Amino acid sequence: MLPLRQKIGLELAKPIIDRVIREHPLTTLFWECTLRCNLKCRHCGSDCKVTSELKDMPLEDFLPVLESIARETDPHKVMINVTGGEPLVRQDLEKCGKAFYELGFPWGIVTNGRGLTPERYKSLLQNGLRAVTVSLDGIGDTHDWMRGVPGTYPLALKAIRMVAASGEVEYDVVTCVNKRSYKELEQIKELLIGSGVKAWRLFTVFPVGRAANDPELRLSGDEFRGTMEFIKCTSKEGRISASYGCEGFLGKYEGDVRDHFFLCNAGITTGSVMADGSIAACPSIRADYSQGNIYRGDDFMDVWNNRYQIYRDRSWMRTGDCARCKYWRYCRGNGMHLRDARGELLFCHLHRLQEK
């Protein structure tokens, strides 16, 4: 049962969210610039390797995507999130960033921080870098266990402290909460506050990629509720802005553990260009749901304007438990990345909140 406050809030927001879905303005574009990575994360949803058989997408292949977007929208309102793999393994990242900047697009990176030296950071800033997300998945060995390479914790922490101290970009820290890091949440919080961090995003693992068969990564119902309570209390304290990642309708926690009510933005405000040229919605969504491919001659904005119907009308998801769920009108079938190849829902956050 939803508390009255949440119910009023969700009902008031619903017509506005429905309008955003109808208008589907592109505001975020992920570019999976490489599949190469310098870590071996347990939870990784990408098919990353230190050396990938799939070559990095050349900048000149990606630029027509941005030119297509710039012809129809204000580029300053579309954020390019460079992701991977690990974007910092690309030696031409500065050149790429410069080209984005010159076309008028703000851009940022999602990084494990291992390669973010002061010299590299300065060089990226000089080429228009405006946002950084760094991952920190626990204290000391917990982080290294999650990231699969010993000695990465101090490097991530150093990168976080450097970015926080510089004050030159928008940044946040993301933490994947698992059975080990769950016990360290208070410690991580104090560490981040002490490091000058202002924004912290926590997420939990969904059962895809390497995480599919790893029970240590999955929280119990109690632990999941505990995470929500932790975020809620941390936000109330006001010492650091803590929020839960973008996935899942969270019932009584809606609006209290995130700055916004739940909406899976994939294909609504978020698009992606993957390393193999696929035009997708969000990088976490399986390839079955791609909408085109730049290497097959598809124009990005043409695809954005004329395809993506499965993202904008999600009534096809209303099967199984979703068909009987009274919160469908607010949840709309959870995140698209939680749908398998047949369209079945792999994980329901609301169920997990109700489990023991």
CB of 141 to other proteins, least distance (A): 29
Should residue 233 be labelled a site residue for other proteins when binding is judged by CB under 8 A?
no
CB of 326 to other proteins, least distance (A): 21
Task: Report the alpha-carbon distance of residue 74 to residue 70 in Å, rounded.
Answer: 6
CB of 324 to other proteins, least distance (A): 27
Ranges assigned E (strand) in 214-265: 241-244
CB-based contact 350:249 (threshold 8 Å): yes
Per-residue binding string, other proteins, 240-259, x by CB under 8 A, is ---x--x--------x--xx
Per-residue binding string, other proteins, 262-291, x by CB under 8 A, is -x-x---xx---------------------
Ranges assigned E (strand) in 33-189: 79-83, 107-111, 129-135, 170-177
CB of 145 to other proteins, least distance (A): 27
CB of 253 to other proteins, least distance (A): 12
CB of 66 to other proteins, least distance (A): 15
**φ/ψ of residue 36, rounded to 5:** -75, 150
* CA atoms in the 13 A half-sphere facing the CB of 93: 31
Per-residue binding string, other proteins, 14-53, x by CB under 8 A, is -xxx-xx------xx-------------------------
Task: Report the alpha-carbon distance of residue 178 to residue 110 in Å, rounded.
Answer: 20
Should residue 170 be labelled a site residue for other proteins when binding is judged by CB under 8 A?
yes
Within 10 Å of residue 119's Cβ, how many Cβ atoms? 8
Cβ nearer to other proteins, comparing 107 with 153: 107
CB of 180 to other proteins, least distance (A): 25
Of 109, 44, 100, give the one whose Cα is nearest residue 75.
100
Q: Side by side, which strands form the sheet with 129-135?
A: 241-244, 199-204, 170-177, 129-135, 107-111, 79-83, 28-32, 270-273, 278-280, 292-293
Within 10 Å of residue 323's Cβ, how many Cβ atoms? 9
Q: Which two tokens stand for residue 317?
A: 């998801």
Should residue 5 be labelled a site residue for other proteins when binding is judged by CB under 8 A?
yes
Choice from 100, 101, 145, 249 touching other proteins (CB under 8 A): 101
Footprint on this chain of other proteins (rule: CB under 8 A):
5, 8-9, 12-13, 15-17, 19-20, 27-28, 74, 76-77, 79, 81, 101, 104, 106, 108, 125-128, 130-131, 168, 170, 201, 243, 246, 255, 258-261, 263, 265, 269-270
